[in-house]
Structure 1
Amino acid sequence: MTAMETESSETVVTKALSSTGPDIDEVVIHPLVLLSVADHYHRVARGTRKRVVGVLLGQSHRGKIDVLNSFALPFEEDIRNPSVFYFDHNFLEEMIRLFRKVNTKETIVGFYSTGPSIRPNDLRIHDICKRYVRIPIFCIIDIRPDRQELPVKAYKVVEQVHHAGQAVTRQFDHVSTQMGAMEAEEIGVAHLLRDINDPTVSTVMSLIQGKLNGLQSLTEKLLTAKKYLQACAEGKCKVNTEIVDHLQTIVSLLPNLNTPDLVHAMIVKTNDMHMAVYLASLIRSVIALHDLVNNKIRYGEDGMQDNDEALAQEEEKKEEEKLKDTGNKKDGGK
């Protein structure tokens, strides 16, 4: 059985495996999960082409799954033969027993992998997780540092029948994913970022870098939408009305920048911002020059103290040494 992602919408009869219970509409990943997965990868598979696999713990409520915690699993697979892999069931059972003693509210909600893509063994791992949870989710957590978009993708398994009389195939279907955190987690992440912050990088530079990363991610999304629309126009894939409606909504929300009033307002706003930056630069330069003049006055041209003061201090030291020497001679003569 091969696991694949559905890129184009086809006329299929789809039935989610979660039909026996509430369907999964949204997955929320908490920061502790990302930290645990990154630590797991760097301990086990750093510098290799291997991936790591683990179990996700959390809570489920009305189709929304909060992934709060995770733990690693001993996992090995043969790259040449995808059907061969090792999954430690005894370790999984023992970890489940220990976690129930610590926190009974957190239950198994699925499993994770560092991917970065879906592999054939993922459906078999999904079947193993179904022994512990009715509707397991599958999360691919991309730990590569050069990724600018959200590093998490969530999937659920669906059954698809393309034509009547054909066999049912199982595939992974995307689930809406977002990052979330409770107040205590937000405070912990803020302290962690404060500890790893680079003091050589100013706050302005970090803000600009964040804006650039956001624009790069937006560019990737727009290119994906462009490729999809071109494929639809060329007849390579069928049009999905839901996707087209979303794209039309995005286009409708864009402001009309060709109106004279808006152009004038943008120019005025830009000039005001540049004026504030210019004044701040002037004030900073004047303060720096003022400090430089004060230093010259205090320490002299060569960076030392005034010559007169230095000579006076040296003469005072010599006189004190002479007095001490004369006092010592008198004491010795007595």
Structure 2
Amino acid sequence: MPLGPSSSAIHVQSNAPGSTPNTIRVPTSVTVHPVALFSILDHYLRRTDAQDRVIGTLLGTRTETEVEVRSSFAVLHSETSEQVAVDMEYHRTMYELHHKVNPKEVIVGWYSTGSNLNTYSALIQNFYSQETAPHQAIHLAVNTGVEEGEQAGVKAYVSSPVGVFPKPENCVFVPVPVELRFHDAERSGIDLLTTTASASNSTSNQPVSDLEIMEQSIQTVLQMLDRVLGYVQAVLAGEKKGDTAIGRYLMDTLGASTDDLEKSGFNASLQDTLMISYLANLVRSQAEVASRLALAAAS
């Protein structure tokens, strides 16, 4: 369905989205999960050569002050110099199918690739605002970083009408703080994708086991402790100027366990950790011995 041509869309930089006039239930923060972000990037990679950007629907949960984007799906659309057309029937059909699988997730807004906010963006925003009423629709602008001079990143906006007699194509896009967040269960998948992307060959690695994840976590903690210890020693030796903010943070972090240290709680926790590490190495050794015996028997 064509949304029509237009006059103007305004993009302003503001750090106070809650102060936007004539808006209701404006969220103060937006959280995006990796599943939604990967789906957007996959949609962008599969676009046709004639498409400058792609758009789609954002799904998730929301409160009065926070929006959590958990997933997304692509929406067919076309843009010309005269009009923009969005397949609304496809959008509603896809949402009905998704709602049957995830009934807790609702429409929270829409996404587009690129950083250009124009009149057509305002028209699409107006359509999604009707879908999310009485809440504000979130617009997620994903910059893929393929254009020269632009860095990859994610920005979120809400809109507010302007003018004495506001029109759908006349609005102000107001930035909202956005954060990329993932659950602990998603960490292993993200680490696997990161390792594969940085590998010299393009072949994917096998998913890591729980023991390897624990080993990597312990190594990461050890590296962070070495960095903190090196910084403290450099400050004490006069090689670096101490930062009061870092000092307070370290005091709050380490000082919270003072009672446990006096009661030997830290030693007990350390023994538990060492026992887990010992058992993990023992299980790994038994698995290697079993696999070698199986190979010897097969040969």
TM-score interval, normalised by the smaller of the two chains: 0.5 to 0.7
Count of aligned positions: 193
Letter in 2 for 1:143: T
* 1:303-325 deviation digits (Å, cap 9, x = unpaired): xxxxxxxxxxxxxxxxxxxxxxx
CA RMSD of aligned residues (A): 2.8
Q: Aligned ranges for residues 135-214 of structure 1 at < 5 Å?
A: 135-145=136-146, 151-160=153-162, 166-168=164-166, 170-199=171-200
Q: Which residue of 2 aligns with 1:5?
A: 11
Helix, strand or coil at the partner of 2:46: helix
Question: What one-letter code is carried by the residue in structure 2 that aligns with 1:138?
Answer: H
2:71 is matched with: 69
Which residue does 2:240 correspond to in 1?
A: 266
Distance in 2 separating the partners of 1:147 and 1:93: 37
Would you say the 8 A contact 2:58–2:71 is kept in 1? yes
CA spacing shift, 1:68–1:7, aligned 2, 3 Å = closer
Taking the aligned partners of 1:98 and 1:59, their CA distance within structure 2 comes to: 17
> 4+ residue stretches of structure 1 with deviation over 3 A?
145-150, 166-169, 261-264
What is the aligned partner in structure 2 of residue 30 from structure 1?
33
- 2:105 matched residue in structure 1: 106
- Is the contact made by 2:143 and 2:151 (CA closer than 8 Å) also made in structure 1? no
> Could you tell me the TM-score, scaled by structure 2's length?
0.58
Runs of 5+ unmatched residues, structure 1:
201-260, 268-334
Contact 2:159–2:174 at 8 Å: present in 1 too?
yes
The answer as to whether partners of 1:113 and 1:140 remain within 8 angstroms in 2 is: yes
Aligned-partner SS, 2:177: strand
Question: Shift of the alpha carbon at 1:86?
Answer: 1.3
Alignment correspondent of 1:229: none
Distance in 1 (alpha carbons) for counterparts of 2:154 and 2:94: 24
CA contact (8 A) 2:142 2:152 kept: no
Larger radius of gyration: 1
In the alignment, is the contact (CA less than 8 A) between 2:145 and 2:151 conserved in 1?
A: no
User: 1:115: Cα distance to partner?
Assistant: 2.4
Question: Tell me, which stretches of 5 or more residues in structure 2 are unaligned?
Answer: 1-6, 202-234, 242-299
Tell me, yes or no, if the aligned pair for 1:15 and 1:160 is still in contact at 8 Å.
Answer: no
